[in-house]
Amino acid sequence: MPSLRAHVYRVAAQGPDDTSGVEALFAAGLAAKNVVAILGKTEGNGCVNDFSRGYATRSFETLFRQHGADGVSLVMSGGTEGALSPHWTVFAREVVDAPAERALAIGVARTPSLPAQHLGRREQVLLVAEAVRVDAGIDDPSDVHFVQIKCPLLTLSRISAAEAEGKTLATRDTLKSMGLSRGASALGVAVALGEVDGGTLRDTDICYSHELFSHRASASAGVELTDHEIIVLGMSDRWSGPLAIDHAVMRDAVDVAAVREAYERLPANSRLAAVLAKAEPDPTGKIRGKRHTMLDDSDISGTRHARAFVGGVLAGLFGITDLYVSGGAEHQGPPGGGPVAIIVEKEH
């Protein structure tokens, strides 16, 4: 009886335009039409003017066009500080002639473009929540382990256009708009998965009511889009194959114990397929009672410090540096912490 099967590949990148590793996968038999998403870590600064994300997106759009494939979600996260290695994580799915069993399931969705005046507000939360409820064959929300979102930000031109129409924006600060967009997107995941009551949520909760958060959301903002690209990862009894996923929530940037526990829940003697994580500087200015200076550095954004720090913590646990660690975890786990998803391939 046919079922859906997921595939996950980690591919090294020599630069934001290096699609050669994915082309090699195609040459080895992966059908381009089966690829549904690529998560990329590019070596830009991860801030508003990180055009490495758009460069990578355009390079992959060209590649897939050459192979007659479209609709692939391209989620590029800038910033490979520390020893994080630039790479692509490729997600594919196909119909196979095999009985369904409990396995990794992948769902993808895309929202309409977000009007600038709705960014960082309840309208953005509800827009994302509706799209997260994608049919990935995951019947129980508790089986969802990670929701990756690429969300928009405000640029000066977008701000000017909206204000020319008489619209009032949540912020005129382009960098602050990244945090507001990530936070609203994460709360959209929380609403969709029943972690937060969308009916009582207010605009003023976004990036202020830190007790409201999702245990499974990961949001990355970029200048290269005006809508939201959404990837839902979880376990389903209607899929098949050797891949499995679990997640942990780091309570702070050194909470390796929670991640180890999640890793140990997965099948033993499995091959590590991917690690996806969020990181942010603890807003209290302390980690386990000790002062940190990530938020006091006027030269380097705190999100860059956090990516490097958490990337090092996770690299020490897993023994790899091609980790998808995204900075800025507003409402993505508790303040100073963040979700971590682990995907493994079971032995045949």
* Residue 220 annotated to the active site: yes
* Residue 33 annotated to the active site: no
77 marked among binding-site residues? yes
78 marked among binding-site residues? yes
- Give φ, ψ of 273 to 5 degrees: -95, -40
Which bin fits 127, alpha (ψ -120 to 50), beta or left (φ > 0)? alpha
53 marked among binding-site residues? yes
333 marked among binding-site residues? yes
337 and 251 in contact (C-beta within 8 Å)? yes
337 marked among binding-site residues? yes
- Give φ, ψ of 117 to 5 degrees: -70, -10
Helices 20-27 + 52-66 axis angle, to 10: 20
307 marked among binding-site residues? yes
329 marked among binding-site residues? yes
220 marked among binding-site residues? yes
221 marked among binding-site residues? yes
- List 41, 150, 185, 301, catalytic entry: 150
334 marked among binding-site residues? yes
Residue with tokens 């977000």: 114
182 marked among binding-site residues? yes
240 marked among binding-site residues? no
Helices 174-192 + 122-132 axis angle, to 10: 50
- List 52, 185, 214, 220, catalytic entry: 220
Active site residues: 150, 220
Enumerate the known binding-site residues for substrate: 53, 77-78, 182, 220-221, 307, 326-327
Enumerate the known binding-site residues for Mg(2+): 280, 329, 332-334, 337
Enumerate the known binding-site residues: 53, 77-78, 182, 220-221, 280, 307, 326-327, 329, 332-334, 337
